[in-house]
Amino acid sequence: MKLHDGIDVFSPLQNAIVTIGTFDGVHIGHQKILKRIRNLAQEAGGESVMITFWPHPRFVLHPEDDSLKLITTFDEKAALLEENGIDHLVKVGFTREFSQQSSDEFTRNVLVKQINTKKLVIGYDHRFGKNREGSFDYLKANASSYGFTVEEISRQDIDDIGVSSTRIRNALLAGHVEEASAYLGRSYALQGNVVHGQALGRELGFPTANIEIPERYKLIPADGVYLVAASFNEQRYFGMLNIGWRPTVDDKKHTIEVHLFNYHGDLYDQHIRVDFLSHLRAEKKFDSLESLKTQLEEDKALAFKLLNL
């Protein structure tokens, strides 16, 4: 896959099959659209093109509102699009000025002039242009003047699988990682660097690696204890991950820390990825460290049971 950092660096194609959107999460609904443009490109001897916007439009239009958390960072989304066989990813810089383009201006300047679109495939609810005035009906009515055809992935096609980025976010914020994984078609993941913590876990016999997520907009699942698979240095380990405030030790900092089964090395400064497999329990306060240790042993036993170990 070729990544084009800006629309101006993209050279028009002979036979471009295109889709547009933020595609946060690249979930199974998005994957249906991606498969369609990939198949159409193959049939037509053309190339598939995904146009996406960065930063996320809401970050630009409503900078005071930090409530939106994203399922994927841009790099994660790009990697997933590559896995889905897309030929070209066009990263369009989203600004307030850009947002003022009418749907006609966007279509002519981007889809026609810069991409040379031959066929556009969009989801049933996709809107674009100033005040989101552009729609499938608008494109269908004007497609002949633009020189390309347009196809809509129907509402039924998407609704039959009952998925949306909002539904996935809500599932994760409730700790329902299994539900989110079903909608994503893969486990939800966090990636970050291992930083120094208080080393309390080592005293309890459960040494942990504290993970710092660099992107503030990345969605963190609900506080609690999870069964995860951690990857680093091309190695994979199962473990337990805690998200929360560690109320038993009255910690004042929200942390993400993972204990890996059967691992005894040094993880400091390591880049690590954790895939969420199952929710084990909610975070809670214990009367003593001994009670906490007992609960951790029970958590580990449950994790091993789920893993059939």
Q: What was the pLDDT predicted at 155?
A: 59
d(CA 48, CA 40): 8
d(CA 107, CA 144): 12
Ramachandran angles phi, psi of 116, nearest 5°: 65, 50
CB 19, CB 53: distance < 8 Å: no
Residues in contact with 248: Cβ distance below 8 Å, sequence separation at least 6, in sequence order: 285, 286, 288, 289, 291, 292
d(CA 26, CA 32): 10
Give CA 105 to chain center in angstroms: 29
Q: What was the pLDDT predicted at 218?
A: 98
Q: What was the pLDDT predicted at 160?
A: 60
Q: What was the pLDDT predicted at 161?
A: 63
Catalytic residue chosen out of the listed positions 47, 76, 152, 257: 257
Query: In degrees, to the nearest 5, what angle opens at C-alpha 184 toward C-alphas 49 and 76?
Result: 55
Ramachandran angles phi, psi of 126, nearest 5°: -75, 135
Q: What was the pLDDT predicted at 209?
A: 93
Ramachandran angles phi, psi of 236, nearest 5°: -130, 130
3-state secondary structure of 110: helix
Nearest to 273, CA basis, from 185, 178, 171, 186: 186
d(CA 111, CA 104): 10
Q: What was the pLDDT predicted at 143?
A: 86
Q: Which helix (H) or strand (E) holds 269?
A: none
pLDDT tens for the chain, 309 residues: list them. Answer: 999 999 999 999 999 999 999 999 999 989 999 999 999 999 999 999 999 999 999 999 999 999 999 999 999 999 999 999 999 999 999 999 998 999 899 999 999 999 999 999 987 777 777 777 777 888 888 888 999 999 988 755 555 666 889 999 999 999 999 999 999 999 999 999 999 877 676 767 789 999 999 999 999 999 999 999 999 999 999 999 999 998 888 677 899 999 999 998 889 999 999 999 999 999 999 999 999 999 999 999 999 999 997
Catalytic site residue 257?
A: yes
Single-letter residue type at 304 = F
Q: Which helix (H) or strand (E) holds 118?
A: strand 117-123
Q: What is the token pair recorded at 174?
A: 């409730």
For 19, other C-beta atoms within 10 Å of its C-beta total 24
CB 229, CB 236: distance < 8 Å: yes
